[in-house]
Amino acid sequence: LPLYLLTSIKGQPIMIELKSGETLNGTFTNCDSWMNLTLEDAITVDAQGENFSKLKEVYIRGNQIKYMRMSNEIIDKFKEQQQLQQQSQQSYGNNQGGQRYNNNYNSQQGGRYNNNNNNNSSNRGGYGGQRKKFNNNGNGN
């Protein structure tokens, strides 16, 4: 379950089953990055289903949660929001088309990203431009 889904359902009813078998029904109020949750007006039921308790507020450790259930409307609304967000990101990305993704950019000048495999070219990669032959006679020419 994505953490950002939980943060979007604050104030909604939720049912949580713990690893111990105990269940809690209440209004979701808060969560943290470890998925520790806080519920208000919670009703707890023990694993055997015999003892009920009503608590004004309860804190649940994330590593003790076995199962979470929320209304289908919340899930559907979240999926719609997620699809809209993905569509907006895709349309934003389609309009970018920057030069750094174009492998043929500036290929006529023999730059660093030149994909020309012509071995007769004096410009075989590196930083481009003409290569100077190294001369060991001390004058640098």
pLDDT of residue 5: 79
Q: What is the CATH number of the domain that holds 63?
A: 2.30.30.100
Residue 38 lies in a domain: yes
CA distances from 91 to 22, 81, 84, 94, 96 (A): 46, 15, 11, 5, 9
User: Which helix or strand (DSSP H or E) is residue 52 part of?
Assistant: strand 52-60
Residue 115 lies in a domain: no
Secondary structure of residue 43 in the 3-state scheme: strand
Residue 64 lies in a domain: yes
Residue 97 lies in a domain: no
pLDDT of residue 76: 81
pLDDT of residue 84: 84
pLDDT of residue 73: 83
Task: State the total domains in the chain.
Answer: 1
Residue 130 lies in a domain: no
Q: In what order do the strands lie in the sheet with 37-45?
A: 52-60, 37-45, 23-31, 13-18, 65-70
Q: Cβ contacts of residue 12 below 8 Å, gap of 6+?
A: 27, 28, 70, 71, 74
Residue 50 lies in a domain: yes
Domain containing residue 76 = 3-82
Mean pLDDT split into 10-residue runs, the chain, 141 residues: 78 94 95 93 93 95 93 81 82 57 52 53 53 59 51
